[in-house]
Structure 1
Amino acid sequence: MKVASALLLCALCFLGLDAQCPEPNTLKDAEGKKICARMFEHSNYYYDQSCGGEYIDAYPNDDVPIIPRPWDNRISSLVVNKMCSLTVWSRVKKNGSKRKFSSGIFYRLKDVQQGLFGSWENDISAYYCVC
C-alpha cells in the first residue's frame, strides 16, 4: 500500500512538472536551436498549472499566415523568448484582430483582452515571430 501511494505521489509530481511554463530565456528545441515562442493548448486559473498539453513552436522569423489546421483557434497560453516578439492575428492570412506579445510568459490568454468583450484564448489563426 505504501509503495502504491508513493508511486501515485511521484506520478502527480511529474504531471505538475509538465504543466509549468518555461522561462523565456530557456526556450530551445530538442536539438538546442533557439525558439522564438512556444504556444500551448492549455492554461489554468493557477499559473503553475498553465502551459500544459501539446504545444507548437515558432522559430525566429517564422511567418505563418495560416496556422496548421489542428492549431487554429486552440492556443490558450504562450511564452515568448527573451529579445523576441510574437505578433498574432485572429483570422487566417493575417486578418482580423492583431496583437503583439513581447518577451514573457502569458499564462492565460483568457486574461488578454481582444476588443471590447473578447479575449485571445483559442483565437489565434496566424502569427509572425521575430528575434
Structure 2
Amino acid sequence: MKVVSALLLCALCFLGLDAQCPEPNTLKDAEGKKICARMFEDSNYYYEQSCGGEYIDAYPNDDVPIIPWRWNNRISSLVVNKMCSLTVWSRVKKNGSKRKFSSGIVYRLKDVQQGLLGSWENDISAYYCVC
C-alpha cells in the first residue's frame, strides 16, 4: 500500500513540472498590473508543455528596439493579452523581418514561418507591444 501511495505521489509531482501557457486574459504581474505579452524561453511539441522556463514580460506601450542581451534570440513561445498586439523584429533596432502577433497563445514559434525557410523560434531581437 505504501508503494502505491508513493508512486501516486511521484506521478502527481511530475504532472506539476509540465508548463502550461496562461490564458491571454489572465496576464498580470505579481502586483496585479496588466501585462501586454509574456514571452517564454521554452516550447514543446506537446502544447500543454509549452510556455516553460524563464519568461520576459512586455507591458502596454513597451517599445524595446534592443531586447536585453540575455533574451536576444531566445524566445520560443508567447502569449499576447486580449485587446493587445505584439510586433517583433528579427534584428535589433527594429531591423530584419517583422511579424505582428494578435491576442492569443503561440505554443511554438518554430511553427510560425519567417521567410521561405526560417521560423521565429529563437529569433526575436526587438519588440513593441500595444493594448
Please report the TM-score for the alignment, with normalisation by the length of structure 1. 0.91
Structure 1, gaps ≥5 residues long: none
Distance of 2:48 and 2:107 partners within structure 1 = 9
Aligned to 2:75: 75
Using the aligned pairs only, state the percent identity: 94
Distance of 1:14 and 1:32 partners within structure 2 = 29
Cα distance, 1:14 vs structure 2: 6.3
* Shift in CA distance, 15/128, structure 1 to aligned 2, threshold 3 Å: farther
Cα distance, 1:13 vs structure 2: 4.0
Aligned residues: 131
Structure 2, gaps ≥5 residues long: none
Considering only aligned residues, what root-mean-square deviation do their CA atoms show, in Å?
A: 2.1
Deviations 1:81-104 (A, max 9, x none): 000000000000000000000000
The answer on whether the counterparts of 1:16 and 1:49 sit within 8 Å (CA) in structure 2 is: no
Cα distance, 1:105 vs structure 2: 0.2
The answer on whether the counterparts of 2:24 and 2:80 sit within 8 Å (CA) in structure 1 is: yes
Alignment of 1:1-131 (within 5 A): 2=2, 6=6, 9=9, 13=13, 16=16, 19-131=19-131
| Structure 1 residue ranges, 4+ long, deviating more than 6 angstroms after superposition | none
Deviations 1:55-108 (A, max 9, x none): 000000000000000000000000000000000000000000000000000000
Distance of 1:45 and 1:17 partners within structure 2 = 16
Cα distance, 1:6 vs structure 2: 3.4
Cα distance, 1:5 vs structure 2: 6.1
* Shift in CA distance, 11/121, structure 1 to aligned 2, threshold 3 Å: same
* Shift in CA distance, 20/13, structure 1 to aligned 2, threshold 3 Å: farther
Which is higher, the Rg of structure 1 or of structure 2? 2
* Shift in CA distance, 3/121, structure 1 to aligned 2, threshold 3 Å: same
